[in-house]
Amino acid sequence: RGSRPQGWEDVSISATLLAAALPPPAPAAMDRLWWLARATVCERHGLAEVRRELYEEIKDGGSRLSERQRELTGWQQRDLVPTITGIIGGCGGIAALRKAGFMKGRKLLILIPALPCYIVPYQFFFHLRETEYLVEMMREDGTSKFPRRLRKAFEQVSAPNSEIIEDLDSGSEIL
């Protein structure tokens, strides 16, 4: 033990106690959800450019899309997560307001507060899932040049320290 400093054991014990006092780290899915929310807001101009390029290609027939990109597009078009979260939010809003005793007289008036309870979760998850889709469309798979074109369009509009570019460079994928 000649190479360890004198108080090394104290540091090790302190680190163990600190780790025990801190809450456990968030699961990877929560980290990804938070990352997508930040990217949706902070990178909206770059994502808008990618969306424009992608919609233009789809409108022209999608001949430059790879098989993986066609699968992603089909997945995005059939995605029910925003709709389901909106329905759950809307029904939850109705149930909560009925439980609280609001608007007991007219039954149809209960639908008025249900609209924001539907729209907010729907929009939140719609934009998160669209960001996820656009990021995956830019990811290189080696079979098509179109992802490079999308990424180049994104890089021209976005900041040089973009989290999305960092994610694409690191090669992390959706779990």
Give a three-class secondary structure readout of the chain.
CCCCCCCHHHHHHHHHHHHHHCCCCCCHHHHHHHHHHHHHHHCHHHHHHHHHHHHHHHHCCCCCCCHHHHHHHHHHHCCCHHHHHHHHHHHHHHHHHHHHCCCCCCCHHHHHHHHHHHHHHHHHHHHHHHHHHHHHHHCCCCCCCHHHHHHHHHHHHCCCCCHHHHHHHHCCCCC
Q: How far apart are the first and last CA of the chain?
A: 43
Token pair in block for residue 124: 């939140």
Give me the pLDDT at residue 15, please.
46
Find out whether 90 and 166 touch, Cβ atoms under 8 Å: no
Distance of CA 15 to the CA centre of its chain: 33
Give me the pLDDT at residue 111, please.
75
* Dihedral sign computed on CA atoms, order 37, 42, 46, 52: positive
- Find where tokens 């059939």 sit: 78
Distance of CA 82 to the CA centre of its chain: 12
Give me the pLDDT at residue 94, please.
84
pLDDT in tens, the chain (175 residues): 444 445 444 444 544 554 455 455 555 667 888 889 999 998 999 999 999 999 999 999 988 888 889 999 999 999 999 999 999 999 998 888 888 877 677 777 777 777 888 999 999 999 999 999 999 999 876 677 889 899 999 999 988 788 888 888 887 554 3
Give me the pLDDT at residue 48, please.
94
Give me the pLDDT at residue 173, please.
54
- Amino acid (one-letter) located at 147: P
- Amino acid (one-letter) located at 32: R
